[in-house]
Amino acid sequence: MQTHFTIDCVILTFDEGQLKILLAERNEYPYKDWWALPGYFVNKYEEMEDAVARILLEMTGLKDIYMDQLAAFAGVKRHPEGRILTVAYMALVQMDEVKNKISSGTAYMRQLKWFPVTELPDLAFDHKEIIELSLDRLKKSVNYSTTPYELLPAKFTLTQLQQVYEALLNKQLDKRNFRKKINNLGYLKELNEFQKGVSYRAAKLYSFDKKKFQKTFGQE
Amino acid sequence: MQTHFTIDCVILTFDEGQLKILLAERNEYPYKDWWALPGYFVNKYEEMEDAVARILLEMTGLKDIYMDQLAAFAGVKRHPEGRILTVAYMALVQMDEVKNKISSGTAYMRQLKWFPVTELPDLAFDHKEIIELSLDRLKKSVNYSTTPYELLPAKFTLTQLQQVYEALLNKQLDKRNFRKKINNLGYLKELNEFQKGVSYRAAKLYSFDKKKFQKTFGQE
DNA sequence: ACAAAAGTGTTCGCAATACACCCATGG
DNA sequence: CCATGGGTGTATTGCGAACACTTTTGT
C-alpha cells in the first residue's frame, strides 16, 4: 500500500531562438549514463512543495523558482525495485538569470546540460512522455498566461517575443499581425531603450507589466 | 521515503439543469461522517490506471468509464497516520446511464449521494480544493472538447445543451447566439425525432457525431 | 554601399455580441 | 385560450489572416 515517491523537474528556458530543457546525465542504476529529468526522492515528513524546492536546489542549484504541477506518473514497471510514483513539476526560467547558477550538487548525476526540445536524446524512464505533456500544456497557455514573459529577460524586443511564441506554438507567425496583436494586449510597456551590440538597426525594448496583466485577466 | 497512495474520484453529471457531483459519506476515521470524494488505496503491484478502475467500481459500482487525471495532492498533514498522497481523477457521466448502477460495495462509506456543485457540504481532507480544480479544468475545456456531450444522453435538445454550457461556464448565454454557434460547429446531427412527454411544443433532438468532431479537431 | 533586421497599414472574412417576437403544443 | 418553452434574423464590432516595402544602423 505504500509507494516510493519522487519529484521530477521539467525546467525550460529560451536561448538562441529555441526552447531548451535542462537534463541530467545519470550516474546510478537503473538507466546509468542515460539522460533524465532532474529529480529525486521526497522525504517522509516533507511537504510536497518543500520537496520540490529542495530537490530543485540539490539537483540544479536553482532556487526561488515557481514550479507548477504537471501530473503524476506511477507505472509499476518504471523501476526494478517496484513502483515509483513521480509527480512532475514544470518551471520556466530566464537563461541570463540562471546560466551561472546551474550546478549539480549530487553524485547521483554526472552533469547537467541544456537540450533544445527539438533535439532530445533518448531519455530514462517515461521522461520523454513527461516532457511532451509539459510542452502540450505550455502551448495551450501561451495566449492566456505569463508564459512567454517568464522565458524572457525583463527587457526584450518584439522579435524575441515573437520567437518565443513561435517556439512554444511550433509554428511561424506573421510579423505585422503579431505586433498588432501585441499592441492590443495592453500590458506591455514600451521603453525608451534600445538593444545594444548588434550590427544592424537596434530594436526597441519592451517590458512586461504584470500588474496590468493581472488586472485585465483577473489573476492567472 | 515511502508514502501511502490513494486515488480519489471526481464524478460529475448533469441532472435537473445542474452539474452534480457524486460524494460518499465516510464511515471511518478520520473524518468519520463527513462527505468526501469516493476514493481508496492503490495496491502494491497495481498500475495506477487499473487502480482507478478498480476503486471506481468498488466505491461506486461504475465501470468502463474514462477517467482523466487531475492532479496529485500530498499534504503531510492530511491524515494523522502521515502523508497520504492522492491522485485525483475526473470522470463525466450521463445520469440516465448511471443512476441505477450506483452502489457502494464497501463498508468504508455509508452512502453515496449526488450534490449540485453549487451546494456542496463541508468536505473531508482537501477535497473541496480538488473539486474546485476539476471545475476550473472543465470550464476551460468546454469549447475544445467533448465535455458537454459526455454529460448528456445520446439524444438531446439544444436547450439541454445550452444548459450544460451554462452550468459549466457558470454564466447565462443568449439563445439565438448559442444556436448559431452550435450550427456552425458541424458535428451535431439534427435528428427527425422530438422530445416526448412535455406539455409544450416538443423540441427537436440532436446527436453528437464524434467522428466528425475528431476530423475537424484532429483528435482530442 | 551593403547586409541585416526593424518597423509599418489595409483589406477581408468570420465569430462573438446585443437584441424581441411569433409559433407549436398539451392541458 | 393560455401557459410554456421552441425557434428564428440582423446589425455591429473586434480579431485573426494574408500580404511587401521602406528605414535604420554598423561595418
Between B48, B75, B82, which is nearest A74 by CB?
B48
Q: Which amino acid is at B188?
A: L
Q: Minimal Cα–Cα distance from A190 to chain B, Å?
A: 32
**Yes or no, beta carbons of A1 and B3 under 8 Å apart:** no
Q: What is the pLDDT of residue A220?
A: 41
**Average pLDDT over all residues of chain A:** 93
- Whole-angstrom Cα distance, residue A10 to residue A115? 12
Q: Is the Cβ–Cβ distance between A207 and A171 less than 8 Å?
A: no
User: Does a cis peptide bond (omega within 30 degrees of 0) precede residue B30?
Assistant: yes
**Average pLDDT for A78-107:** 88
CATH class of A5-141: alpha beta
Q: Is the Cβ–Cβ distance between A108 and A26 less than 8 Å?
A: yes
- Whole-angstrom Cα distance, residue A127 to residue A10? 9
**Average pLDDT for A122-142:** 96
* A103-126 pLDDT, tens digit each: 877 888 999 999 999 999 999 999
Of A15, A8, A7, A9, which Cα lies nearest the Cα of A115? A15
Mean pLDDT, consecutive 10-residue stretches, chain B (220 aa), reads 92 95 94 96 92 96 96 79 90 94 86 96 96 96 95 96 97 97 94 94 96 77
Range in A82-86, A128-132, B37-41, B207-211 the model is least confident about = A82-86
Q: What is the pLDDT of residue B78?
A: 66
- Rounded to whole angstroms, the distance from the CA of residue A185 to the C1' of nucleotide D12 is 22
- Rounded to whole angstroms, the distance from the CA of residue B148 to the C1' of nucleotide C8 is 44
Q: Is the Cβ–Cβ distance between A148 and A164 less than 8 Å?
A: yes
Region for A141 from its dihedrals, namely left if φ exceeds 0, alpha if ψ lies in -120 to 50, beta otherwise: alpha
* A45-59 pLDDT, tens digit each: 899 999 999 999 999
What residue is closest to D15 (Cα–C1')?
A181
Residue A172 CB closer than 7 angstroms to strand C? no
Q: Which residues pair with B181 in a beta bridge?
A: none
> Which nucleotide is nearest to A175 if distance is taken from CA to C1'?
C7
Confidence of residue A78 (pLDDT cuts 50, 70, 90): low
Q: Is the Cβ–Cβ distance between A38 and A22 less than 8 Å?
A: yes
- CATH code at A147-216: 1.10.10.10
Q: What is the pLDDT of residue A26?
A: 95
Of B96, B204, B92, B191, which Cα lies nearest the Cα of B145? B92
Model confidence at A219: pLDDT above 60: no
B74 interface with A at CB cutoff 8 Å: yes
Of A120, A177, A184, A170, which Cα lies nearest the Cα of A142? A170
The number of residues making up chain A comes to 220
First to last CA, chain B: 37
Question: Distances from the Cα of A82 to the Cαs of A74, B46, B50, B79, in angstroms?
Answer: 10, 10, 16, 25
- Whole-angstrom Cα distance, residue A7 to residue A57? 12
Q: Which residues pair with A39 in a beta bridge?
A: A8
* Residue A116: all three cell numbers together: 533544445
Handedness of CA B26, B31, B34, B40 (dihedral sign): negative
Handedness of CA A168, A171, A172, A177 (dihedral sign): negative
Domain boundaries, chain B: 5-141, 147-216
Of all residues in chain B, the one with the smallest CA distance to A71 is B71
